[in-house]
Structure 1
Amino acid sequence: MTPECIVPIFQVSDLPAAIAFYTNVLGFSVDFEFGSVVGISMGEIQIHLSGSASSGNKKAIGEGHVYIFCDEVDDYYNEIIAKGAGVFIPPGDRPYGVRDFAVKDADGNILAFGKSTHPRSDASHHTL
């Protein structure tokens, strides 16, 4: 078996509002809609948004948390703040070797975005 990717699932209370936030503010695109589950992506990053009408592995609303490694952390931060994203943790250089920040969606799901500050370090185990 060769793993290909991982897709976090965020439980949201208002699916249309969540879609608008993730697409209009954070810059994701809608990949699919299936009932009350919507797949969104940006580059190689995928997230599924699960509305309140979704059945199956339902989790508590707003308890999702994902850490996304990316480039241009400060430029992206400035872009999404200008579009209305609320800051949860402001940008900064962290002692664990990344420059990162975090925002929350309307339900409290946390999205952190970071970039290694060490040229060849494996920062994949560092998170907010």
Structure 2
Amino acid sequence: MTGRTDGRPSICPTLLYADAKAAIRQLTQALGFSELSVYESEDGVVRHAELAQGNGAVMIGSKGSGSVFDGAMKGAGPAGVYVVVDDVDAHHRRAVEHGVEILMPPTNQDYGSRDYMARDAEGNVWSFGTYAPEVGG
């Protein structure tokens, strides 16, 4: 099995939200993600969305959509996602300015990273830091 080499991420966390539109607003406005695509049903429910941060992406959907993934995730708790950013302090300031709940302020870690931790409006925990694992070789 080999990893992707075409610029597309090979791993994308996928999160479901009761209010996916609000989640997309918070992730883009407060946490610096870029909206790649949003697909809605005729009644305005977010069926699938893709947001980018650096060379990674996260996929977003709505709880209660009736999809197979929605059924598989029924009863699942919040998730934790780690995102690499260049300037942790600037990223943190932006999150604070938008009222994001901060769980840990920017902190220098023993393993050489500087990171902070936040909780989104539906309980998912997002860590943003400078540490980037080396993959491939």
Match in the other structure for 1:2: 2
Structure 1 residue runs of 4 or more that deviate by more than 6 Å after TM superposition: none
Listed as ranges, the gaps of 5+ residues in structure 1 are 117-122
How many Å apart are 1:45 and its aligned residue? 2.1
User: 1:1-128 maps to which residues of 2 (within 5 A)?
Assistant: 1-4=1-4, 5=9, 6-35=11-40, 36-52=47-63, 53=65, 55-58=67-70, 59=73, 60=75, 63-116=78-131, 124=133
Listed as ranges, the gaps of 5+ residues in structure 2 are 41-46
2: CA distance between counterparts of 1:40 and 1:63? 18
Q: TM-score, normalised to structure 1's length?
A: 0.81
Root-mean-square deviation (CA), in Å? 2.0
2: CA distance between counterparts of 1:47 and 1:62? 17
1: CA distance between counterparts of 2:2 and 2:39? 27
* Paired residue secondary structure (2:86): coil
Q: Quick check: 1:62–1:107 contact (8 Å CA) kept in 2?
A: no
Q: Percent identity?
A: 29
Q: TM-score, normalised to structure 2's length?
A: 0.76
Q: Quick check: 1:7–1:47 contact (8 Å CA) kept in 2?
A: yes
Q: How many correspondences in the alignment?
A: 119
Task: Select the structure of larger CA radius of gyration.
Answer: 2
- CA change 1:18–1:29 in 2 (3 A) is same
- CA change 1:112–1:74 in 2 (3 A) is same
Amino acid of the residue matched to residue 95 of structure 1?
Answer: D
